[in-house]
Structure 1
Amino acid sequence: MPVSERRLLVSIHDVAPCFESEVDRLADLIDARLGPARYAMLVVPDHWGRAPLAQAPAFQARLRGWAERGVEMFVHGWFHRDGSRHQGAAGFKARHMTAGEGEFLGLSHADALQRMADGKALIEDVIGRPAAGFIAPAWLYGPGAMQALAECGFPLAEDHFRVWRPGHEDKPLAKGPVVTWASRSTMRTASSLAFAALARPALQPLKTLRLAVHPGDVTKPSIVGSVDATLRAFSRRHVPGRYADLIE
């Protein structure tokens, strides 16, 4: 497969006023390897109910500036925090796949629809253009969220293993695991570093590679080094692109 047909999609998660300095560091790291604005930002309207974007005009201006330079802006939940009670498979995901941040895993259809619509309206007003799509916190979607997603008019959605057009999840636009890191415990950090090291050669045959970073990543030099190594490895054979390229 020619290099021109191979795509690298990079995203910064949890973009919110409370993480401005961390987002800056991540953006600088990505810019240094891929060139300016060759990534997406996942914006949280009110991170954990403590960082309302609507009340942060200076950060709003920065988001608009990034968007004008070509950074894709996704809606990333509303609070990011999971306030639902879970049972069965959802309970397992809530306990083991995130630390209380799978906001859309247990929401009803009505609640998911309201938060998606409100987030879309707010972020589009801030950046002055349509949102690139919706990505649930921790990449976790419950039945209510999946139903609402198909009704909200988002061009794209993503989970751990695929990217799809809402309403057409049976026809993924890209498949394969997203490479990400965990900073909240020594054990999780070690396992994420090991997975990234394996992924750098093992995932090269995929047409589309995805890499996601979080504000907490910059707190550990080992993760910063791994992110940089993975960006270098992936960009050798894959061209940094945009999520929108998948549907254009």
Structure 2
Amino acid sequence: MPTPSPSKRLLASIHDVGPGFDRQVEQLCALLDLRLGGPRFAMLVVPDHWGQHPLRQDRPFQAKLRAWSDAGVEMFVHGWFHRDTAEHSGTASFKARHMTAGEGEFLGLDETTALARMTDGKALIEDIIGRPSAGFIAPAWLYGQGAQAALAKAGFALAEDHWKVWNPRGDAVLAKGPVITWASRSTVRTASSIAFAALARQTLSALRTVRIAVHPGDVRKDALLSSIDRTLRHFAKSHRPSAYAEIQEPGVDS
């Protein structure tokens, strides 16, 4: 098996981690652990997914988060509810309608509300895992002006969107390139995401940092799991499975 380049990194993450997706997260953990040679990935934790699965009240799942964190899994704050209840207009309306299924929670929040949810989520998750969180990633990777302003004040070391990873304290871009992810909510989106992953395997190998993100819904479709497995195996040959914390120096991929 080829040895990955020490200068190239593979950043993998499991989104929407919380009590409501316990079984699915366990399944994805097993797959990533196998293909990456250990717990060399991140989890994006939702404190109360859609207001139906409060992490604060689920002690068994808190214990799992602490154990994963102790094993080396990085923990990001991933919104609070994950659900978007704001009214949108203009560009934001297009993003809310076409880029996510009502889950862009931080797209329409004002700065005060966004900052409160960020800091509350940070406090909750850090109390559970007993160490600093890795950063903040908005649900669906969507940030409105209020969320962008709040990020500069929330004290997170890292943030991420579809196209980059950056330090919100000074806006230094730490990695560039599209995140490879999959969609399960419709046949058309599933097919297009599988096609994009195949294209990414052919075209993104030159990037210094490749990002792969999986979601609990992916486990419902064998075709998605097969594509995810193939993509992980492909990039693990050329890119070293790494922690997000390793890209803290600005200009790594610029």
TM-score range, shorter chain: over 0.9
Q: Which amino acid aligns with 2:145?
A: P
Displacement of 1:35 after TM fit?
Answer: 1.5
Displacement of 1:167 after TM fit?
Answer: 3.4
Normalising to structure 1: TM-score of the pair?
0.98
Q: Which amino acid aligns with 2:104?
A: G
Q: Which amino acid aligns with 1:210?
A: R
- Alpha-carbon displacement from aligned partner over 1:12-36 (angstroms, at most 9, x marks no partner): 0000101000000000011111122
Please tell me whether the aligned partners of residues 155 and 169 of structure 2 are also in contact (alpha carbons under 8 angstroms).
Answer: no
Higher mean displacement: 31-40 or 72-81? 31-40
Displacement of 1:45 after TM fit?
Answer: 0.1
Identical aligned residues as a percent = 65
Residue matched to 1:107: 109
Residue matched to 2:252: none
Normalising to structure 2: TM-score of the pair?
0.96
Runs of 4+ aligned residues of structure 1 deviating over 4 Å after TM superposition are: none
- Alpha-carbon displacement from aligned partner over 1:62-116 (angstroms, at most 9, x marks no partner): 0000000000000000000001000000000000000000000000000000000
| Separation in structure 1 between the aligned mates of residue 72 and residue 38 of structure 2, nearest angstrom | 9
| Separation in structure 1 between the aligned mates of residue 85 and residue 169 of structure 2, nearest angstrom | 26
Structure 1, unmatched stretches of 5+, are none
Please tell me whether the aligned partners of residues 47 and 81 of structure 2 are also in contact (alpha carbons under 8 angstroms).
Answer: yes
Residue matched to 1:242: 243
Residue matched to 1:183: 184
Displacement of 1:125 after TM fit?
Answer: 0.3
| Separation in structure 1 between the aligned mates of residue 34 and residue 71 of structure 2, nearest angstrom | 16
Residue matched to 1:29: 31
Q: Does 1:141 align with 2:135?
A: no
| Separation in structure 1 between the aligned mates of residue 36 and residue 167 of structure 2, nearest angstrom | 26
Q: Which amino acid aligns with 2:24?
A: E
Residue matched to 2:164: 162
Please tell me whether the aligned partners of residues 156 and 169 of structure 2 are also in contact (alpha carbons under 8 angstroms).
Answer: no
What do you get for the CA RMSD once the two structures are aligned? 0.8
Structure 2, unmatched stretches of 5+, are 250-254
Residue matched to 2:227: 226
Paired residues in the alignment total 246
| Separation in structure 2 between the aligned mates of residue 183 and residue 108 of structure 1, nearest angstrom | 30
Structure 2 matches for 1:27-106, cutoff 5 A? 27-106=29-108
| Separation in structure 2 between the aligned mates of residue 242 and residue 201 of structure 1, nearest angstrom | 24
Other structure's SS at 1:151 match: helix
